[in-house]
């Protein structure tokens, strides 16, 4: 199953529409998308506007791959579960975000094992065509390393 998520605040039709069209073109019937308050109504994929945190976690765990906006929550979820993730950043100039922090996030994660960047909707279908070949990295732990926690604790406790 491919799990698509746009996050919890805004629709991201520029990403959802090409995924829906790709699923229709390729006959993929195993795509589920959380699409937010979208104007685009998918015709070829299963979808909900929003899912609760439990369903989100279950779908992420069950997914063979995750496709998402370049939000840190989605990226960390994929890395924690050891799932390959395709990210496409929202753009402020298109009214999809308040600023371009997702462009910076995508640039920072590009090239990391298990993270694949579609810079825009024209790149997305080709990456989706190769989903079966995308490899995830080793899962990351869901909590901070004890050495980091100790360093922060020492910093807070220092005079």
- Tens-place pLDDT, residues 49-98: 999 999 999 999 999 999 999 999 999 999 999 999 999 999 999 988 88
Domain locations in the chain as residue ranges: 2-157
Q: How far is CA 37 from CA 34, 79, 119, in A?
A: 10, 26, 22
Backbone angles phi, psi at 32, to 5 degrees: -120, 135
What pTM, to 2 d.p., does this model score? Answer: 0.91
pLDDT of 8: 83
pLDDT of 137: 86
pLDDT of 60: 97
**CB of 11 within 8 A of CB of 4?**
no
Residue 138: pLDDT above 90?
A: no
Which CATH architecture group holds 2-157? 3-Layer(aba) Sandwich (3.40)
Q: What is the mean pLDDT of residues 98-116?
A: 94
pLDDT in tens, 110-120: 999 999 999 99
pLDDT of 61: 96
pLDDT in tens, 21-42: 999 999 999 999 999 999 889 9
């Amino acid at each position: 199953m491919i799990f698509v998520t746009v996050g919890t605040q805004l629709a991201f039709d520029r990403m959802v529409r090409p995924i829906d069209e790709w699923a229709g073109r390729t006959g993929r019937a195993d795509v589920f998308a959380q699409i937010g308050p979208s104007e685009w109504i998918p015709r070829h994929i299963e979808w909900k506007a929003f899912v609760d945190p439990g369903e989100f976690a279950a779908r992420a765990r069950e997914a063979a791959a995750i496709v998402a906006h370049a939000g840190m929550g989605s990226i960390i979820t994929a890395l924690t579960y050891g799932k390959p993730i395709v990210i496409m950043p929202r753009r402020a100039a298109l009214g999809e975000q308040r600023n371009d922090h997702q462009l910076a996030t995508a640039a920072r994660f590009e090239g990391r094992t298990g993270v694949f960047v579609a810079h825009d909707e024209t790149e997305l279908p080709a990456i989706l065509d190769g989903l079966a070949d995308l490899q995830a990295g080793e899962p990351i732990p869901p909590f901070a390393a004890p050495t980091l926690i100790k360093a922060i604790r020492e910093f807070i406790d220092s005079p």
